[in-house]
Amino acid sequence: MLGTLPQFNGRGIGSRLLRWGLDRADEKGVPTFLASTPAGRPLYEKYGFEAVEEYEVIPGYFQASMVREAKFL
């Protein structure tokens, strides 16, 4: 799980945490999978994730399964 407290939103902290994890995945050559909330989806798309499935978690609340293939260094 990745997240920041609301008072730290918009400061690039989430991006740095995500980039660290993606760098590890790229080093190992493995794809990355996640479940995204609507609020997080733009960040994940910015880093190359693509939605492969959308589903309703509870009535009216949707999430997306997303995948990003490894970037070979």
Average pLDDT over residues 29-35: 96
Enumerate the β-bridge partners of residue 64: 36, 54
Q: What is the pLDDT of residues 16-30, one digit of tens each?
A: 999 999 999 999 999
pLDDT of residue 39: 86
Q: Which one is predicted more confidently, 4 or 66? A: 66
pLDDT of residue 73: 64
40: number of Cβ within 10 Å: 19
- How many helical (H) and strand (E) elements, i.e. helices and strands, does the chain have? 2, 3
Q: Which domains does the chain have, with CATH numbers?
A: 9-68 (3.40.630.30)
**pTM more than 0.85:** no
The pLDDT mean for the chain works out to 92
pLDDT of residue 41: 92
